[in-house]
């Protein structure tokens, strides 16, 4: 089974497993789309506005500055706007607007009549103008539901509680399957479990092929453990991109579904909307999102729906906005230089995540005391969690009291020790090989050169005339040795 990957095509997957951007999964997905895909996306004014928000500030200001111009974006104007020297190389200017080029907001640079410029994508320009002036007719910002005055609507606090309960229920189910921790939470619906399996976050150990999993026997994978340590907004976008990839695998139009994600990100928390008027072509996807806590519907067949905080904060750029607690309440960890951890929390999910790499020794109603030790940290690393992810989790959840100490936030001794424990797993690397032993120096050197030329050489020990080659090249190298040996015996 081929699992979806959101790694950037131009990035090094081994560099760091910690994502710098909460929308990294979305960015990687969009980077692999063609011009026609963006043309369909930009029919929605909400998409144009959200894409603009996701750009770096320089690109954002450039676009807004030239949005109402009927001329293409000229290099001279960009240099003047950025106060660059008129002789600045075109490659430098092109790199500045690269994010806009990647999102197909402008087309590649054109040279005509001794002038260099980037043509605008008319679909994006029209969509963004309509979004800023309110002239659009696509209903991409949602159509309010006609609610009778005597009907009591859920409050914002109720919607936040509903969204948190639904999404944390999925996370609790995942972590309990890997640690044997029982949570009083209902098993997610079959559609959710199927997506967790397709995405590689959970597997059925008894299913060797990976094609017929038993949803009642699913356990978390190393990829799933890594997912648990991500911040909430990163988790949300990854789940949405897994869902979108599954839609594409079923030959469904994913552009309409992605447009709906952006539209939900522009809606207002506490406002109710009409499903049939807001998303007439994506009603099934909207129903699926209710299972993850993105929306609340009074009944499964109701046309009325309420976006929760998980949806309305998707395009805000504020990761803290997707959490039920205040930012300070999510900063609950105090880490001492003796590796002791004090966690001021009563959240079962947070405690379970800590239990992945912390030896929890004392537990009070609102305080957990534990210690980072080699055994528990290496156990977490065997599950696929890296030292960088543990460091990132500890930093992002550090108690405000830790900021009163001189930087760095985490003591270098602890950071270095986590990296050392991580490297202990990689001290030895096992590879299949074929060893050849020679008694003739000339034959050894000729075979070594032949192996190098065919990228088959793994290791050469010249003092003992040993060659280690790739197993799949054994037949070819053996034939060369026999042929060369006959030549040397014949005096050639």
Task: Supply the CATH number for residue 467's domain.
Answer: 3.30.70.2610
Report the candidate in 237, 240, 238, 205 with the shortest Cα–Cα distance to residue 220. Answer: 205
Q: For the whole model, what pTM was predicted? A: 0.77
**Where does a domain end: 263, 287, 322?**
322
Residue 277 has pLDDT above 60, yes or no: yes
Residue 180 pLDDT class (50, 70, 90 cuts)? low
Residue 318 has pLDDT above 70, yes or no: no
Q: Tell me what percent of the residues of the chain surpass a pLDDT of 90.
A: 58
Residue 346 lies in a domain: yes
Same domain, 468 and 343: no
Residue 1 lies in a domain: no
Please tell me the predicted confidence (pLDDT) of residue 5.
47
Please tell me the predicted confidence (pLDDT) of residue 13.
37
CA dist., res. 196 & res. 4, Å (int): 11
Report the candidate in 399, 360, 359 with the shortest Cα–Cα distance to residue 379. Answer: 359
Please tell me the predicted confidence (pLDDT) of residue 362.
94
Same domain, 187 and 315: yes
Residue 68 pLDDT class (50, 70, 90 cuts)? very high
Domain count of the chain? Answer: 4
Residues 6+ apart with CB under 8 A from 299: none
Residues 6+ apart with CB under 8 A from 337: 411, 413, 414
CA dist., res. 66 & res. 88, Å (int): 21
Q: Do the Cβ atoms of 204 and 197 come closer than 8 Å?
A: yes
Same domain, 301 and 413: no
Q: pLDDT tens, 357-410? A: 999 999 999 999 999 999 999 988 888 888 998 998 999 899 998 988 888 899
The label of the residue with tokens 């809606």 reads 267
Element (H, E) at 198: helix 190-198
Residue 477 lies in a domain: yes
**Where does a domain end: 296, 322, 348?**
322
Q: Do the Cβ atoms of 234 and 281 come closer than 8 Å?
A: no
Residue 181 pLDDT class (50, 70, 90 cuts)? low
Residue 6 pLDDT class (50, 70, 90 cuts)? very low
Judged by DSSP in three states, 178 sits in helix
Q: Tell me what percent of the residues of the chain surpass a pLDDT of 70.
A: 91
Residue 55 has pLDDT above 90, yes or no: yes
Same domain, 105 and 183: no
Of residues 176 and 2, more confidently modeled: 176
Please tell me the predicted confidence (pLDDT) of residue 325.
44
116 phi/psi in degrees, rounded to 5:
-110, 130
Please tell me the predicted confidence (pLDDT) of residue 175.
87
| String of DSSP letters for 368-411 | EEEE--HHHHHHHHHTT--HHHHHHHHHHTB-GGGGGSSSPSS-
CA dist., res. 331 & res. 347, Å (int): 12
CATH of residue 111's domain is 1.10.10.10
Q: What share of the chain is helix, strand, coil (3-state, %, to 5)?
A: 50, 10, 40
Same domain, 259 and 237: yes
Please tell me the predicted confidence (pLDDT) of residue 492.
60
Same domain, 76 and 184: no
Residue 328 pLDDT class (50, 70, 90 cuts)? low
Of residues 334 and 301, more confidently modeled: 334
Residue 483 has pLDDT above 70, yes or no: yes
Element (H, E) at 202: strand 202-203
If you ran DSSP here, which 8-state letter would residue 194 be given? H
- Please give the mean pLDDT across all residues of the chain: 87
Residue 488 has pLDDT above 60, yes or no: yes
Q: CA triplet 252, 253, 255: central angle to 5 degrees?
A: 145
Please tell me the predicted confidence (pLDDT) of residue 300.
83
Same domain, 192 and 316: yes
For the residues 65-84, what does the mean pLDDT come to?
91
**Where does a domain end: 80, 101, 133?**
133
Judged by DSSP in three states, 91 sits in helix
Of residues 253 and 305, more confidently modeled: 305
Residue 268 has pLDDT above 90, yes or no: yes
Same domain, 239 and 306: yes
Residue 138 lies in a domain: no
Same domain, 125 and 42: yes
Residue 65 has pLDDT above 80, yes or no: yes
Residue 354 lies in a domain: yes
Domain with 35 in it: 24-133
For the residues 254-281, what does the mean pLDDT come to?
93
Q: Which residues of 451-490 are buried (b: 16+ CB within 10 A; e: fewer)?
A: beeeebbbebeeeebebbbbeebeeebeebbeebeeeeee
Distances (CA, A) of 161 to 164, 165, 324, 470: 5, 6, 7, 57
């Amino acid at each position: 089974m081929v699992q979806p990957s959101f790694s950037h095509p131009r990035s090094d997957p081994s560099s760091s497993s910690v994502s710098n951007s909460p929308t990294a999964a979305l960015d990687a997905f969009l980077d692999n789309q063609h011009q026609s895909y963006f043309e369909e996306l930009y029919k929605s004014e909400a998409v144009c506005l959200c894409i603009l928000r996701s750009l770096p500030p320089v690109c954002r200001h450039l676009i807004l500055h030239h949005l109402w111009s009927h001329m293409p974006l000229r290099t001279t104007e960009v240099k003047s706007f950025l106060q660059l020297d008129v002789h600045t190389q075109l490659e430098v200017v092109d790199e500045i607007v690269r994010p806009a080029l990647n999102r197909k907001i402008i087309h590649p640079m054109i040279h005509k009549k001794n002038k260099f410029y980037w043509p605008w994508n008319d679909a994006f320009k029209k969509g963004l103008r309509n979004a800023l002036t309110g002239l659009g007719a696509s209903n991409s910002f949602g159509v309010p539901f006609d609610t009778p005055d005597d009907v009591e609507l859920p409050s914002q606090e109720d919607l936040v509680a509903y969204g948190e309960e639904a999404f944390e229920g999925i996370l609790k189910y995942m972590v309990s399957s890997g640690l044997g921790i029982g949570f009083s939470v209902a098993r997610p619906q079959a559609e959710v479990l199927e997506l967790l399996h397709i995405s590689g976050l959970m597997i059925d150990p008894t299913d060797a092929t990976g094609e017929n999993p038993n949803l009642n026997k699913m356990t978390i994978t190393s990829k799933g453990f890594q997912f648990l340590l991500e911040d909430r907004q990163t988790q949300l976008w990854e789940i949405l991109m897994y869902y979108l990839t599954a839609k594409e695998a079923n030959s469904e139009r994913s552009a309409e579904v992605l447009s709906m994600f952006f539209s939900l990100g522009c809606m207002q928390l506490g406002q109710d909307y009409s499903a049939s008027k807001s998303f007439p072509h994506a009603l099934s996807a909207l129903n699926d999102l209710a299972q993850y806590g993105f929306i609340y519907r009074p009944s499964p067949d109701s046309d009325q729906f309420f976006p929760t905080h998980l949806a309305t904060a998707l395009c805000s750029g504020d990761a803290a906005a997707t959490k039920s607690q205040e930012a300070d309440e999510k900063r609950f960890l105090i880490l001492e230089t003796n590796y002791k951890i004090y966690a001021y929390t009563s959240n079962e999910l947070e405690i379970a995540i800590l239990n992945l790499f912390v030896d929890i020794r004392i537990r009070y109603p609102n305080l957990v005391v534990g210690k980072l030790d080699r055994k528990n940290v290496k156990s977490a690393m065997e599950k696929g969690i890296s030292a960088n992810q543990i460091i990132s989790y500890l930093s992002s959840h550090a108690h405000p009291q830790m900021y009163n100490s001189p930087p760095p936030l985490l003591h270098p001794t602890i950071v270095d020790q986590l990296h050392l424990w991580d490297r202990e797993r990689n001290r030895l690397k096992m590879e299949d090989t074929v060893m050849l032993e020679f008694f003739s120096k000339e034959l050894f050197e000729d075979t070594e050169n032949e192996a190098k030329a065919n990228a088959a050489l793994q290791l050469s020990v010249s003092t003992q005339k040993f060659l280690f080659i790739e197993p799949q090249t054994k037949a070819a190298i053996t034939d060369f040795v026999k042929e060369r040996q006959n030549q040397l015996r014949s005096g050639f």
